[in-house]
A and B are shown apart, each in its own frame.
Chain A
Amino acid sequence: MESGVHAMQQNIRMFSRFDVIPVIQTTHSHAKTVSNGAIDVGGLGARATSNPRANVAMKPSTSGLSVFAHPSHHSQHSNHDHHSFRRRTNSGGSGPDVEPEKSVTATLKPEHAGKKTLFRSVSAGESVKQNHASKFVAVDVDTSLYPWTIRYRRVLGRVRFMIALTVVYWILVTCAFALFYYHVFVCCSQIRRIAYLLYVWGHLLLLIISTLAIMLQASEMHDVMGIYSELKYILLNCVIWSLVIFVLMAIGDFENDTALLWIWCPSLLNGINALIMMRPLDLYAIDDEQTMQFAHMYSTENASATKTEHERGQVTTSILFCLYKARFIVCNAFHVNPKYLKHKLRFQNGAGGENGAHSRVSITHTSHNKASGGHLTLKEVLKMKHGFSGLAAHLVKELSLENLLFLVEYMQLKKFVLHNELLEEECVKWRIEIAPEIIDESMNEDLLKSKCYMSTEDSYHVVLSMFHYLYQHYIDRSSVASVNVSYQCVTHIKYTMGKVFLFTDHTSTDGKEEKDFQNDVFSSGVMDMDIIEQLIDSFDTAALQVFRLLYSDSFTRFSKTKEYELLLEQSREM
C-alpha cells in the first residue's frame, strides 16, 4: 500500500515529463546539437526527468536578479558543471543524493535513464517526502478515507452488477409480500388492501417528494456530475410508473393474483431509479477500446454500404454494431452526458492508433489549404508535430522555452479536466490545439488512463495539485522558469490560488507549509468546482499573454529560420 501511494504521488507530481529548468539551464551548451537535427522534445523531456529534485532544490532568493547569486556555477554550462552544482545543492538538503554518474547515462540514453530515474525516485519514495520536490504533491490517494461507494466504484459501477442488484431486490420484495399474503393478510381483505395502497402510492409519493427536495438543492449547487438531469429522469420514471399502476388498478378488480403484479411495479421502479442514480460506469463512459471498436465498425459499415458482396462476411460485425448502436441509443435516452461521448470520440481520434491518423491528416489538410498563401500562423505550427518540435528547438536556442512549456502544460491540464469531466467544455474556455502526439506523449500515461478508477474527488485534487505545480514553476517570481506576464495577472493568480492553498510567499518554513497545504486540501473535503473555474480564468489571462508574447516576438523570428522554410514546404507537400 505504502509504495503504491508513493508511486501515485510520483506520477502525479510529474504530470508531464517536461521539467523545464534543466532544459533551460543546459540549453546553451545543447543549443547546437538540438538545432542540428535531433529535434526531439521527448528526448528533452526524458533528460529533464533525470533530476527533478535538483531543480526545485535550487531556490533562488526572491530578488529579480537572483541568479547572480551563483555566478561561478553558471558561467559554463557544460554537463559536468551542471552535476557539480546539483551535488552541491543536494548535499545541503536532507534528501537522497542523486548520483551524477547516473545522470550522465541519462543524457546518453534518454529512454533508459528516464525509466531508471523514475524507478529510483519511486523506490526512494519515503524520503521524497522530506524533500522540497514533493511540495507540490497534493494528492495522497489513500482510498480508505473515502466512502465505500467511491472505494468500490470499479466494482459497483458495472451494468452487470446493477442488474443483479435489481433482480435480487425484486425477488426479495416479491417473496416478502408472498409471505405476508398467505399468512398475515388472510384474515381481512380490507387491511390487505390498505397495506397495498400504502406500499405502492406511499412509495411513489416518498420518491417524488425526496427527488423534488434534492432537485431544489441541486439547482443551487454547481452541478458537475449532472445530477440535476438524472433527477429529472427519475421524476419522469415515477410519473410513468404511477400511470401504469393507475391503469392496472382501473382494469383489475383487485383480485389476489393481480395484487402481486402491483408489487412488481415499485420494485422495478426502484431498480431503474437505482440504475439512473448510480450511473454505472460502463454504460455512460465507454471504455476506450470499445470506442475504438465502434469507430472501426462505423467505418466498415460505411464501406459495406458500397460493397454489398462483403455483407455476408460482416453479419457478425453488423450484429455487434447493432448492439453498440443500441447501447448508444440507451446512452442518449438517459441523456446524462452525450457531450462526453462526442468529446471522447473526438479525443480518441486525435489520440493515436490508425483511426486517429486519418482524422489528423484531414485536420492538417484544412489548415494547409488555408495557409496556401505561404504563411503559417503560430496556431497552425503548434498543431503540427514537426512544427511544434521545430519551434521548441528554436526557443531552446533563444532561451525562452518556458513560454511554450507553460502553454503545453496548461493545455494538458485542461485536457485532464475535460477528460475527467470535471467541467463542461464551455467552462474550460480558451484552448489552443497543440499537436496531439506531443500532448499525449509528454503527459503522464496514468493520468489519462486514470478515468476508470479515479473518482471525481481524486481528479479534483489532482487538478489542484497541477495548478500548484504550474504556479510554482511558471508564475512564482522566484522560480527559475517564470514566464513574462504582467503584475496584475500574477496578483490575480496569487489571489485565486490563495483561496485554495494556504501558502506563504516565503518558502522558508517548508515543512510547515507543506503540512498546511495538504491539510487545507484534505480538510476542506468539499469539491468546489467554482474554484477550478476561477483558477482557469486567472491562468487563462496568463496563458493568453504568453501566447501573445510568443506570437509577436519569438514566432516572428522563428518564421525567418530554415526550419520554418522546411516546415512550409512540408505542409505544402501534404
Chain B
Amino acid sequence: MGGCMSDSQDTTDRNVEREIEKDKKQDTRAHKLLLLGAGGSGKSTFFKQLKAIHGEGHNDREKEGFKRQIHGQVVESIQLLIRQCKTVTKDPLPGIKDEDDEPFGNDDLDDARLSNSLKVEMTETEIAQFKIAKEFDQSCQYLLEIHGSRSALTEQLVTHVKSLWNECPAIQAMFEHRNKIGIPDSSAFFFNDIERIGRSDYTPDHKDIVLARYRTTGMTEKEFHIKDAVFKVLDVGGQRNERKKWIHFFDGVTAVLFVVSLTCYDEVPFEDVTDLAADVTLMNSMLESIKVFEDTLDFECFQKTGFILFFNKADLMQEKIKRVPITNAFPNYKGPQEFKPSVDYISKYFLSLNRVPEREMLLRFFFEYVLFVNYW
C-alpha cells in the first residue's frame, strides 16, 4: 500500500520536475525583454505593435476587447472634460449632491484649492470660455450619469458626444488643456470618428488599436519568434503603484526597453492630475520618467544589463515643440525651440544619467505608425 502511494507520488514528482526543466530550458533560450517606463509613455502601445507585426496579430476576440477599451476611453474622456469644465466654472455637478445634505466634500476641497490658486492665474474671461452653454445641459447630464462598466456606445450617447465635441466651444477649449487633466491625445481622433466607432458592426482597425489608451495593471508577457531568436517581452503598468511590482520581473533580464514619451514634458502624471491650476513645470511626466529611469539604472540587477531607450511619440513632439518649449522639464536647455536640437538634448540627458560606462545603451525613436525608424 505504502509503496503504491510513494509510486504515484514519484510519478507526479517526476512530472513536475520535467515541467520545471522544460520551463528552464525555454527560459534560457528566450531573451527576456522588460518594457519599463513611466505611466502613459506607451509601453503597451509598443507591445501591441510588436504583437501586430511579429506576433499572430489580433484576433476577433481581442478586437472585441479593444472596441470596449476605445468605447471606455471615449466615455471617460468626455466625462472628464465635462467635469473639469464644471469645476472650473463652479457649476454644480448634477446628480452627485444629495438634496438635503451638506455640500459634497470634493467640491469643498476643489473650491478651496481653486479659490487659492486658480483665481490668481485666470481672469474671468478665461474662465468664461469653459462655461458650457445651457443647450448642452441635457447632454452633460446624460453623459455624467453613465457608469463605468456600461461602456457600449449607444446611438443616443453618440449623438450627445458628437454635439458636445463639435458644437461646444468650452469642451474644445478644455481639450486644449488636456495635458493638465490627463486626457490622452488620441481621444480627439476617436471623438472625430465617433460615428464610425459608434456603429454596431464596428471593428477597430490597426490604427484604432494602436491609438487606444488604457492603463495597464499588473503584467503581461508574450513570446515573439523573430527569425530564430525567441523574445519574451514583458509589459507592465507604469503608474506609481504598479511600479512596486516591477521588482518581481527583474530576474534574468536580457535587456530593458525603457520607453519615454517625448511629449510628456508638459503633461501631468496620472497620479497628480487635479485641475487646470496644476503647475506643469513643477511636476510633469518627463521629470517622473527621469526619476524612474534613474532608479531603474541604479538597481543592482541591472548593472550589466543592456538598456534600449525608446523615445516615443516623436510625431506628436514635432507638433508640440512649436507651442511649448522643453524648458518645462529641462530648465537648463538653452537651444532653439525646434524639434531636432530639443530631442538631441533630451536623449543626451538620458544617456548622461548612466553612470556605468560599460553598459550598453541604445537609442531608438519611433513614431506612432512607423515602427523602428532609426533616427540616427
Contact = CB atoms under 8 A, between A and B. Distances in A.
Contacts of A28: 248
A395 B299 contact: no
B149 A553 contact: no
B247 A74 contact: yes
A75 interface: yes
A68 B247 contact: yes
Given A68-B295, A377-B149, A559-B65, A486 B270 contact: yes
Contacts of B66: 556
A544 B248 contact: no
A484 B149 contact: no
Interface stretch (B234-242, B309-317, B318-326, B357-365): B234-242
B142 interface: no
Interface in A373-430: 375, 377-379, 395, 398-400, 403, 430
A492 to B, nearest CB: 5
A553 B217 contact: yes
Nearest to B268: A487
A538 B110 CA distance: 14
A486 B273 contact: yes
B264 to A, nearest CB: 16
Interface string A57-81: 0001000111110011011110000
A542 to B, nearest CB: 12
A564 to B, nearest CB: 9
Most chain-A Cβ atoms within 10 A of its Cβ — which of B66, B149, B240, B274? B149
B68 A533 contact: no
B217 A400 contact: yes
A482 interface: yes
A551 B68 CA distance: 9
B148 A548 contact: yes
B55 to A, nearest CB: 12
Contacts of A463: none
A560 B60 CA distance: 10
Contacts of B69: 552-553, 556
A530 B273 contact: no
A144 interface: no
A375 B152 CA distance: 14
B72 A375 contact: no
A495 interface: yes
B61 interface: yes
A311 B22 CA distance: 68
B201 interface: no
A139 B244 CA distance: 32
Contacts of A557: 65, 220
Contact of A399 (B102, B109, B151, B248): B248
Contact of B244 (A480, A486, A530, A553): A480
A544 B147 contact: yes
Contact of A71 (B105, B274, B299): B299
Nearest to A28: B248
A554 B247 CA distance: 20
B241 A482 contact: yes
A491 B239 CA distance: 17
Interface string A318-353: 000000000000000000000000000000000000
Given A399-B245, A482-B241, A556 B273 contact: no
A: contact size bracket: 35 or more
Contacts of B295: 65, 68
B215 A553 contact: yes
Interface in A520-574: 530, 533-534, 537-538, 544-545, 547-554, 556-557, 559-560
A551 B72 contact: yes
Contacts of B241: 477, 482-484
A65 B105 contact: no
Interface of A is mostly: helix
B218 A492 contact: no
B246 to A, nearest CB: 8
Nearest to B102: A530
A308 interface: no
A24 interface: yes
Given A75-B250, A486-B273, A533 B182 contact: no
Interface in B117-176: 147-149, 151
A496 B109 CA distance: 10
Contacts of B214: 552-553
Interface in A474-514: 477, 480, 482-484, 486-488, 490-492, 495-496, 499
B105 A556 contact: no
B216 interface: yes
Contact of B62 (A537, A538, A545, A556): A556
B371 interface: no
Contacts of B301: 71, 75
B147 A430 contact: yes
Contacts of A537: 96, 104-105
Given A398-B218, A554-B217, A560 B62 contact: yes
Given A533-B101, A556-B69, A71 B247 contact: yes
B353 to A, nearest CB: 15
Given A64-B240, A68-B299, A534 B105 contact: yes
Contacts of A554: 217-218
Contacts of A486: 182, 270-271, 273
B179 to A, nearest CB: 15
B251 interface: yes
Nearest to A545: B148
Contacts of A375: 64
Nearest to B237: A484
B300 interface: yes
Contacts of B356: none
A488 B273 contact: yes
Nearest to B148: A548
Contact of A552 (B72, B270, B292): B72
B243 interface: yes
A408 B256 CA distance: 35
B374 interface: no
Contacts of B96: 537
Contact of A492 (B76, B102, B106): B106
Interface in B280-305: 291-292, 295, 298-301
Interface in A136-156: none
A548 B148 CA distance: 6
A537 B274 CA distance: 18
B200 to A, nearest CB: 13
Given A486-B271, A547-B148, A551-B148, A71 B300 contact: yes
Given A482-B244, A537-B96, A559-B61, 4 more contacts: A76-B251, A77-B248, A556-B68, A560-B62
10 contacts: A71-B301, A375-B64, A477-B271, A484-B215, A490-B271, A533-B101, A538-B105, A552-B69, A557-B65, A560-B65
Interface of B: 61-62, 64-66, 68-69, 72, 76, 96, 98, 101-102, 104-106, 108-109, 147-149, 151, 182, 214-220, 237, 239-248, 250-251, 270-274, 291-292, 295, 298-301
The 7 closest A-B pairs by CB, nearest first: A400-B218, A556-B65, A398-B218, A64-B240, A548-B148, A400-B217, A482-B241
